[in-house]
Amino acid sequence: MTQWLRFWQHPILDKEFRERMRKRGTFWGITIYLSVIGLIALTYFFLASEMASSVVSGVGEYLIIGLFVIQLITLALVVPGVTAGVISGERERQTLSILLTTPLSSSGIVIGKWLSSLSYILLLVISSLPLYAIVYLYGGISPSQLIKGFVHLFVSILFLGSLGIFASVVFKRTVVSTVVTYLAVAVVGIGSVILFGFWEVFKNINSIKNDLVSEILMGLNPLISLLTFLIDDFDHLSIQPYAVYVTVYPCLTLLMLLLSIYFLSPLRWKMWSWPSRKKA
Amino acid sequence: MIRTEQLTKKYRKVEALKNLNLSIPRESVFGFIGPNGAGKSTTMLILATLLKPTSGRAWIDGLDVVKQADEVRRIIGYMPDFFGVYDNLTAAEYLSFYASSYGIPRHRQKAIINDLLELVNLTEKRDLYVDGLSRGMKQRLGLARALVHDPQLLILDEPASGLDPRARIEFREILKELRAMGKTVMISSHILPELMGLCDAIGIMEQGELVAQGDVEEINARFKGNRMIEIHVIDQLEKVVRVLEGEQKVTSIQVDESRRLLKVGLNGDEHLQVSLLSRLVAEGIPVFRFEEIAVDLEDVFLKLTSETGGESN
Ligand SMILES: Nc1ncnc2c1ncn2[C@@H]1O[C@H](COP(=O)(O)OP(=O)(O)OP(=O)(O)O)[C@@H](O)[C@H]1O
Ligand SMILES: [Mg+2]
């Protein structure tokens, strides 16, 4: 317990919370996020219930899938924006070198920054919970599916956050780091679908029976892996894409964080010949 | 306190630091001087554990700056040549953040922060957002920040750059206080007079090499013609010049006939001055003023860096 308390008193977390709460953007960020999510969700609810009015039993399922998908896509757009500047921003403000001379190790800085950004994102997600509560009342979805859905979202947030941090450690400028993070998100989201398509074609040409690869590829795509456990039609798969997703992405997250810590450390054992140009 | 051994840093092809051997004793103020690009900041970055040397080693208080970086960080306070502050924190919160990062518990921070703000004359700005501070105030706040964990050694990279003359003087006063507190200070600058009354010793860098190191006076004395004597006579100006021209150790003579004043460059110490004066008097020259005038360290510096064929200016 005291350990836990001490953790929240980590200077980086404390400072980041203070700074974030004072930025006018923070309040507006939450407001806009909720309005956008709410608006899209309500529109979707409306359309879905119109269409499904004949098959009354399916409405709840459609609604919850829609909500999770909307939330995931919105987070994929929001998290890079929040995290891709946290280290490069310190560098641009010329505060990073001082930070690195304090006993806060580069791991403390990376983890502290990661967690404080994530807390902000979690605040967004938590404030959208009432929407889920409404949808849950429609029925059509089991509690375990709901929990799986949130675990999936959580894993996605952790990963997206670590991706943003990694880019902001490696790239000197926030602009570059942000662009690269969005590109990486696009690769994760669309790249795996393209790969999946290629594999299907390849499979048909060579008449391969084994479906393991396509199942793994499905699991690597955030959207598909989300859909597979929300829609019941995928029960026949030997490996659940959901299981693939929640094992692979935490590992990638860890890797990203370790690499970030490594690259942030000024005295890393082998100087990477990264362009380290200084102002003239 | 600081010792470096054959310290070398190459940025790709540029050799910013060449086999630097430096030694700075405890509780002294060391002025680190050199023109742009001499390698001062590079040296300080290495000492501040922010840059890995290409070869050679450096120790602070016996601790290796690469292998024992964590321990070194606890005993140094580093102030970079350019640094930013967190705009949306107040001055007190800004210091508190760094105090926490050194593991100083909250209940002890208040007293420390008050003392530091007092030291740098920012007590009234305590609860002001750092954003609203002037350049000079931010610089002083930065110094307070570097002191937050009571480090034994301060590494200050051009702390007075960008300050107006009054702010410079204020900054100097603070540094004198720190010296009185028994801190070891390494301070860089390219403006020499700024360090004159402040430093116990200076080191002069030029293109990655230490071209001179020692006491301020010692360095002063090492360069010929740097002792200047003003001689005022009632008359017999030509005779004075004749006598002086016969002296081996006189390096230059400037004559101001209307004021019957001579400026004489000497390569020697007080004994030479004594013998020169008695010689003039013995010759019957009516000398009514014979005085050594201070040589600007700046002159020494320019002379020195041009002698080594530096790229200064
Ligand atoms: N990050 C870097 N990458 C490449 N070269 C660098 C880098 N930093 C410094 N240099 C080079 O190293 C040399 C020494 O630079 P340094 O900043 O140590 O000089 P300095 O004495 O601090 O100069 P100034 O008085 O301008 O601050 C210069 O030639 C500079 O061009
Ligand atoms: Mg410099």
In sequence order, the 6+-apart residues with CB closer than 8 A to the CB of A243 are: A219
B301 belongs to a structural domain: no
- Candidates A26, A91, A98, A271: best to mutate against B (most CBs of B within 10 A) is A98
Q: How far apart are CA B260 and CA B50, in angstroms?
A: 58
Quick one: pLDDT band at residue A59, thresholds 50, 70, 90? low
- Inter-chain touch A103–B52, beta carbons under 8 Å: no
Number of domains in chain B: 2
**At A30, is the secondary structure helix, strand, or coil?**
helix
> Of B190, B214, B238, which residue constitutes the final position of a domain?
B214
Q: Where are the domains of chain A?
A: 11-266
Minimum distance, in Å, between the CA of residue B303 and any CA atom of chain A = 27
Q: How far apart are CA B34 and CA A243, in angstroms?
A: 62
pLDDT of residue A5 exceeding 80, the answer is no
> Is A267 near chain B, with CB under 8 Å?
yes
pLDDT of residue A23 exceeding 60, the answer is yes
B60 beta partners: B2, B63
Minimum distance, in Å, between the CA of residue A44 and any CA atom of chain B = 40
B143 and B289 share a domain? Answer: no
What was the pLDDT predicted at A230? 78
The token pair at A89 is 């921003």
B137 and B6 share a domain? Answer: yes
> Is B93 near chain A, with CB under 8 Å?
yes
ipTM of the complex in this document: 0.81
In sequence order, the 6+-apart residues with CB closer than 8 A to the CB of A144 are: none
Q: How far apart are CA B192 and CA B188, in angstroms?
A: 10
**At B305, is the secondary structure helix, strand, or coil?**
helix
B309 belongs to a structural domain: no
> What value does the CA radius of gyration of chain B take, rounded to a whole number of Å?
24
B185 belongs to a structural domain: yes
Q: Which residues of A256-280 are buried (b: 16+ CB within 10 A; e: fewer)?
A: bbebbbebbbbbeeeeeeeeeeeee
Residue having the nearest C-alpha atom to atom 5 of ligand 1: B11
Report the separation in Å between the CA atom of B306 and the middle of ligand 1, taken as the mean of its atom positions.
Answer: 20
B237 and B207 share a domain? Answer: no
A56 DSSP assignment: G
B146 and B23 share a domain? Answer: yes
B251 belongs to a structural domain: yes
Please name which of B224, B195, B192, B228 lies closest in space to residue B312, comparing C-alpha atoms. B192
B111 and B88 share a domain? Answer: yes
Q: How far apart are CA B243 and CA B246, in angstroms?
A: 5
| Domain around B33 | 2-214
- B303: Cα within 13 Å, side-chain hemisphere: 15
pLDDT digits (tens, 9 = 90+) for A137-161: 777 778 888 899 999 999 999 999 9
The kind and range of the H/E element at B6 are strand B2-11
What's B262's domain CATH number?
Answer: 3.30.70.100
- Inter-chain touch A98–B86, beta carbons under 8 Å: no
Residue having the nearest C-alpha atom to atom 12 of ligand 1: B16
What was the pLDDT predicted at B170? 85
What was the pLDDT predicted at A270? 46
- Inter-chain touch B50–A97, beta carbons under 8 Å: yes
What was the pLDDT predicted at B114? 94
Minimum distance, in Å, between the CA of residue B173 and any CA atom of chain A = 24
B124 CB burial (10 A radius; 0-12, 13-18, 19+) = exposed
B155 and B194 share a domain? Answer: yes
Q: Which residue has the higher pLDDT, A58 or A106?
A: A106
Its pTM surpasses 0.90: no
Under 8 Å between Cβ of A99 and A109: yes
pLDDT digits (tens, 9 = 90+) for A212-246: 777 788 888 888 888 887 776 666 666 778 888 99
Sequential DSSP letters for A207-246: T----HHHHHHHHHSHHHHHHHHHSGGGTT-SS-HHHHHH
The kind and range of the H/E element at A83 are helix A59-83
B220 belongs to a structural domain: no
- In degrees and rounded to multiples of 5, residue B153 shows phi and psi of -125, 135
- Bridge-based pairing of strands B287-293 and B55-60 is unpaired
B198 and B289 share a domain? Answer: no
**At B293, is the secondary structure helix, strand, or coil?**
strand
Return the residue of B nearest to A108 by Cα. Answer: B101
> Is A105 near chain B, with CB under 8 Å?
yes
B142 and B232 share a domain? Answer: no
Token pair 């059509």 is found at A140
Q: Which residue has the higher pLDDT, B29 or A203?
A: B29
Q: What integer best gives the mean pLDDT of chain A?
A: 82
> Of B161, B187, B214, which residue constitutes the final position of a domain?
B214
B273 and B197 share a domain? Answer: no
| Stretches in chain B below the pLDDT threshold 70 | 193, 220-226, 294-313
- Inter-chain touch B82–A94, beta carbons under 8 Å: yes
A194 beta partners: none
B44 and B86 share a domain? Answer: yes
pLDDT of residue A46 exceeding 60, the answer is yes
Q: How far apart are CA A272 and CA A88, in angstroms?
A: 18
Strand order in the sheet with B76-79: B76-79, B153-156, B184-189, B29-33, B201-206, B209-215
> How distant is the alpha carbon of residue A93 from its chain centre?
26
In sequence order, the 6+-apart residues with CB closer than 8 A to the CB of A44 are: A63, A66, A67, A70
Quick one: pLDDT band at residue A273, thresholds 50, 70, 90? very low
Quick one: pLDDT band at residue A95, thresholds 50, 70, 90? very high
Cα-based distances in Å from B223 to A83, B227, B300, B305: 57, 9, 7, 12
The token pair at B121 is 């004359």
pLDDT of residue A274 exceeding 50, the answer is no
Instruction: Residue B106: count other Cβ atoms within 10 Å of its Cβ.
Output: 10
Please name which of A185, A169, A181, A162 lies closest in space to residue A250, comparing C-alpha atoms. A162
B181 and B119 share a domain? Answer: yes
B19 belongs to a structural domain: yes
Instruction: Residue A167: count other Cβ atoms within 10 Å of its Cβ.
Output: 27
B68 and B171 share a domain? Answer: yes
**At B35, is the secondary structure helix, strand, or coil?**
coil
Q: Which residue has the higher pLDDT, B162 or A255?
A: A255
Region for A140 from its dihedrals, namely left if φ exceeds 0, alpha if ψ lies in -120 to 50, beta otherwise? left
B31 beta partners: B187, B202
